[in-house]
A and B are shown apart, each in its own frame.
Chain A
Amino acid sequence: MFANRMFNTVVPVISVLLGLIAGAIIMLGFGYNPIKGYAALLDGAFGNAYFFGETIRQVTPYILTGLAVAFAFRAGLFNIGAEGQVIVGWLAAVWVGTTIEAPMIIHLPIALIVAALAGGLWGFVPGLLKAKLGVHEVIITIMMNYIALYLSNHLIRNVLTDKQDTTDRVAESASLASNWLMELTSYSRLHWGILVALVAAAFMWFLLEKTTTGFELRSVGYNRHASEYAGMKVGKNIILAMVISGGFAGLAGAMEGLGTFGYMPTHAAFTNIGFDGIAVALLGGNAALGTVIAAFLFGILKIGALNMPTGAGVPGELVEIVIALIIFFVASSYIIRWVLLRFKKEGN
């Protein structure tokens, strides 16, 4: 028998391979050379300093939304609302960044904390409804996404600006952008946010694996009723899990607002950073380290895809299909396990 831990690493790897193979088959089907296609992808992600900087830049919010979804998952909750939490976090960070004047050592942390709090608030509502009334968090978080999208557009147009479609740029003292990093990577939009994301990942690992709070959260995720009999407050843990999850996603929004863009535009549609976080978390097995690795993979795929049309003539949207298929294979891990066990048995 395979050990469970081994399955947890083998299944994502197989899923990624199957996804990439399916992508290659699609390329073949449309008359492209898959080797050239994937070479263009890798070149677009690592080919030069600029591409590399952009890849890391894309990985940054993915780590954070991935952590957001993963954290909720560990407590038995599905946070589809990361998208909305990203948007409110982004807005909150830019709001603090544009309106307050303070030295960097105060301004930047405040902007980050307020962004996390805003995301946390957006997670608090579904958490509260789940804990007190037993309402399914998936539907509430979907609804909260739309409220965040339209509300933030409204606030940008009518409160932060006078009928403009973008806010002002955040003050230097609240910016994560760094000339040194930009020069290092031929003026990509790489910023210090990657450090924030990695610290957040370490924080999640420590909280979940090394503290009593984390133990309770995981316990609630495994078995709600047993946790209750053991004297844990299930409702409190559900709310806490959603708030922390929302906080991670809010920080992801701050990465965009204080780092990548330095301002917030109105959005006609979702940013997809939050939705992609679902894929990242699933592939990462809902663990902190796994999420970081998965975020790198998806960052490479997304940024590399931009080079596929010029490098190999392949529409970059192919990568979206590959990512969707990877999620499918991870979700259907039951069948992958089944096949693996079959092979194992025949081998004996």
Chain B
Amino acid sequence: MLDVLQSIIPIALFYSAPLIFTALGGVFSERSGVVNIGLEGLMVMGAFVGIVFNLAFADVFGTATPWVSILVAMVVSAIFSVIHAVASVTFRADQVVSGVAINFLALGLGVFLTKQWYGKGQTDMVSQPFYSKNIPLLSDIPIIGPIFFQKVYVTSYIAILAAIVVWFVLYKTSFGLRLRSVGEHPMAADTNGINVYSMRYVAVILSGALGGLGGSVFALTIALNFSQSTIVGQGFMSLAAVIFGKWHPLGAMGAALFFGFAQSLSVIGAGVPFLADVPKIYLTIAPYVLTIFALAGFIGRAEAPKANGQPYIKGSR
């Protein structure tokens, strides 16, 4: 049993990290009342920038390259997400449609520029990815150490920490209260002197930064290069995690961990005794089927923020 856990849990953590980051971004955006189907595109942008920066500056930054790469990816994706904010907050576009456009645009830009700069459909492999490490001290703890802290990626733990930070920001600070109030009842928030538009802009930009972080972490831990098929559905899965986690940062983290776990099962399922007989297809589609069940209320009712998806128009009732 210990061997099984030792093989599953690091892989589950490894697959979850990008989902957690991106889902946290989704929580920010949707809590402020802006539906973000564009998470997928934001991850594509993050993955693209992370890989390109890493390839271009590996000589300059050496072993620090992956860290600088994810920071740059965060900034670029945050700027990119402003398009979604402008369309859905200022131009009152249908937020779902604008999100779809973000997805198209990110992929189009990424693949176009890859062709332009590398002359082929995918980039080279990065020379400075993240490597798995044993975490000092903690990895020496008996039983827990080998399961949780040996051969793991630091990014997984940063993701879990980030979820706690986002929870604190949303539920324990006045900024978080304002952000949530804008998503529940924008008119009441406006009456109380909160600038609905700027709160929503901030929330969407935060989702861009976190989506970019998620995409670049995925690219620099799992994919290691960029092509049209680097990010295929991870963003949508993060969106599912947001809903499965009932728009709560810790819930979203739990859901993302669960999805990562389900993915790791389908990756190494054959090596696990009691799962070897389960056809792989069940494990592959489990995250999606469970999300549908969750939404249908079989696993507790999921209630979206009240004003989610509705543009706020000052003075209208």
Binding site for B on A (CB under 8 A): 26, 30, 78, 80, 125, 129, 133, 135-136, 138-140, 142-144, 146-147, 150-151, 154, 268-270, 275, 278-279, 282, 315, 317-321, 323-325, 327-328, 330-335
Give the segment of B69-77, B131-139, B206-214, B282-290 that binds chain A.
B282-290
Q: CA–CA, A25 to B101, complex, Å?
A: 19
Closest approach, in angstroms, between the C-beta of B178 and any C-beta of chain A? 25
Give the segment of B1-9, B91-99, B148-156, B196-204 that binds chain A.
B91-99
**Is B101 touching A327 in the complex (CB atoms < 8 A)?**
yes
Give the segment of B168-176, B185-193, B215-223, B228-236 that binds chain A.
B228-236
In the complex, chain A residues whose CB is within 8 Å of the CB of B281: 150-151, 154
**Is A328 touching B107 in the complex (CB atoms < 8 A)?**
no
Closest approach, in angstroms, between the C-beta of A199 and any C-beta of chain B? 28
A147-B288, A147-B289, A150-B285 as given contacts; A136 in contact with B304, CB under 8 Å:
yes
Closest approach, in angstroms, between the C-beta of B105 and any C-beta of chain A? 4
**Is A139 touching B100 in the complex (CB atoms < 8 A)?**
no
A331-B93, A332-B93 as given contacts; A320 in contact with B112, CB under 8 Å:
yes
Q: CA–CA, A2 to B292, complex, Å?
A: 44
Provide 21 A-B residue pairs closer than 8 Å at the C-beta atoms, listed in order of the A residue: A78-B96, A80-B37, A135-B296, A142-B239, A144-B288, A144-B292, A147-B285, A154-B279, A270-B232, A278-B100, A315-B111, A317-B111, A318-B108, A320-B104, A324-B108, A328-B87, A328-B101, A331-B87, A331-B94, A332-B93, A333-B93
Q: CA–CA, A270 to B107, complex, Å?
A: 13
Q: Considering the complex, which residues of chain B in the window 263-287 have a beta carbon less than 8 Å from any beta carbon of chain A?
A: 279-281, 284-285
Mask of B11-51 contacts with A, CB within 8 angstroms, 1/0:
00000000000000000000000010100000000000000
Chain B interface, >50% SS class: helix
A139-B243, A315-B116, A332-B87 as given contacts; A320 in contact with B108, CB under 8 Å:
yes
Taking a contact as CB atoms closer than 8 A, the residue among B97, B111, B240 that contacts A142 in the complex is: B240
A147-B289, A320-B112, A331-B87 as given contacts; A138 in contact with B37, CB under 8 Å:
yes
Closest approach, in angstroms, between the C-beta of A312 and any C-beta of chain B? 13
In the complex, chain B residues whose CB is within 8 Å of the CB of A143: 240, 288-289, 291-292
**Is A129 touching B112 in the complex (CB atoms < 8 A)?**
no
In the complex, chain A residues whose CB is within 8 Å of the CB of B94: 331
Of the listed residues A129, A320, A330, A335, the one surrounded by the most CB atoms of chain B closer than 10 A to its CB is A320
Chain A interface, >50% SS class: helix
Of the listed residues B37, B87, B112, B115, the one surrounded by the most CB atoms of chain A closer than 10 A to its CB is B112
Mask of B107-131 contacts with A, CB within 8 angstroms, 1/0:
1110110011000000000000000
B300 at the interface (CB under 8 A from A): no
Closest approach, in angstroms, between the C-beta of B307 and any C-beta of chain A? 14
**Is A327 touching B92 in the complex (CB atoms < 8 A)?**
no
In the complex, chain B residues whose CB is within 8 Å of the CB of A323: 104, 108
Residue of A nearest to B105 (CB): A324
B68 at the interface (CB under 8 A from A): no
Taking a contact as CB atoms closer than 8 A, the residue among B101, B109, B115 that contacts A331 in the complex is: B101
4 more contacts with CB within 8 A, not counting A143-B291, A154-B281, A334-B93, are: A151-B285, A275-B100, A323-B108, A328-B105
**Is B104 touching A318 in the complex (CB atoms < 8 A)?**
no
In the complex, chain B residues whose CB is within 8 Å of the CB of A335: 90-91
Closest approach, in angstroms, between the C-beta of A79 and any C-beta of chain B? 11
Q: CA–CA, A333 to B101, complex, Å?
A: 14
Taking a contact as CB atoms closer than 8 A, the residue among A26, A142, A269, A324 that contacts B104 in the complex is: A324
Q: CA–CA, A328 to B95, complex, Å?
A: 11
In the complex, chain A residues whose CB is within 8 Å of the CB of B304: 136
**Is B105 touching A325 in the complex (CB atoms < 8 A)?**
yes
In the complex, chain B residues whose CB is within 8 Å of the CB of A26: 112
**Is A282 touching B97 in the complex (CB atoms < 8 A)?**
yes
In the complex, chain A residues whose CB is within 8 Å of the CB of B285: 146-147, 150-151
In the complex, chain A residues whose CB is within 8 Å of the CB of B115: 315, 317
Residue of A nearest to B229 (CB): A269
